[in-house]
Amino acid sequence: MFDKYVNSGQPEEPRGKPIGRRVLLGTLGLGALGVATAPTLQRGLESFLAGASDKDPTGLTGLLPNGGGFRYYSVTSSVPRKNADTYRLTIDGLVDHPATYTLAELRALPQTRMVRDVQCVTGWRVPDTPFEGVRLSRLLDAAGVREGAGAVRFTCFDGAYSESLTLDQARRADVLVALRMQDKDLGHAHGGPVRLYVAPMYFYKSAKWLSGITVTKDVKPGYWEERGYDVDAWVGRSNGRDDDPTT
């Protein structure tokens, strides 16, 4: 059912607002190009890489070692690396038992594996991609969500990205704190060692480099949502794709 979005060249911003999305080069092994940090230079390279920059401002199609159709995104120019020794995930906010998990502790919990299509709102799609991890609902139950809570906010150790879900969305069985993708431990470029995986929504909901889960009263729009994306990002039913009266 998502075929019409495959490589359709949809602009990144559904409402046509130009956004200078900065693409992470450092972790992609492009440091040798010598454009690690200077923002203007980086933007220049980005448009160069993107070719038709008005059509696909963030697409690095064909120029990155993108396994199986993925494009690698980061809104920061560098992201620290975390491993089994240094990684921590905290759960706090409106909960009875705030907690901090190590990677080993997350790995020791029951794991759920799902195989679905990954769908970015810009139009690229990766079919049948396995993700594996701990159901977010399990971590929320363990933390003991308090009366009056209505939402969950996610923060990332890149220091910039954020996301959010309503509590009902967060409790869905197809929302994971993912440790593995494509049957491998999540690599750094894909948001490892731990990222969020929200299977029924566009991939921008799946925050990479997940470090914090905070239970809150209300939804606070995430990074891209403050820049025009829908907070409720159901695939095929949001971001301007669900309001065409002729279809």
Ligand X SMILES: Nc1nc2c(c(=O)[nH]1)N[C@H]1C(S)=C(S)[C@@H](COP(=O)(O)O)O[C@H]1N2
Q: Which residues bind ligand X (CB under 6 A)?
A: 70-75, 120, 156, 158, 161, 190-191, 203-204, 206-209
Q: Judged by CB under 5 A, how many residues of this single chain contact Mo ion?
A: 3
Q: How far apart are CA 187 and CA 96, in angstroms?
A: 33
Q: At closest approach, how far in Å is the CB of 232 from ligand X?
A: 16
CA 88 – CA 152 distance, rounded (Å):
18
Query: Which window, 2-10, 35-43, 176-184, 197-205, contacts Mo ion (CB under 5 A)?
Result: 197-205
Which among ligand X, Mo ion, none contacts residue 125 (Cβ within 5 to 8 A by kind)?
Answer: none
Shortest approach of Mo ion to residue 209 CB, angstroms? 15
- Edge-to-edge strand ranges of the sheet holding 210-216: 99-101, 89-93, 210-216, 151-156, 162-166
| Per-residue contact string for residues 201-230; x = within reach of Mo ion by CB under 5 A | --xx--------------------------
**Three-state helix/strand/coil letters over 114-170:** EEEEEECCCCCEEEEEEEEEEEHHHHHHHHCECCCCCEEEEEECCCCCEEEEEHHHH
Q: Binders of Mo ion among 92-131, rule CB under 5 A?
A: 120
Residue 126 or 167: the one with the smaller Cβ distance to ligand X is: 126
Residue number, 180 or 190, with CB nearest to ligand X: 190
Residue 74, contacted partner among Mo ion, ligand X, none, CB below 5-8 A by kind: ligand X
Task: Please tell me the distance from the alpha carbon of residue 196 to that of residue 190, in angstroms, as a whole number.
Answer: 11
- Give least dist CB 119 to ligand X, A: 9
Name which of 72 and 145 has its Cβ closer to ligand X: 72
Residue 165: CB partners within 8 Å, gap ≥ 6?
151, 152, 154, 175, 198, 205, 219
Nearest to 21 by CA among 195, 229, 219, 164: 229
Query: At closest approach, how far in Å is the CB of 53 from ligand X?
Result: 17
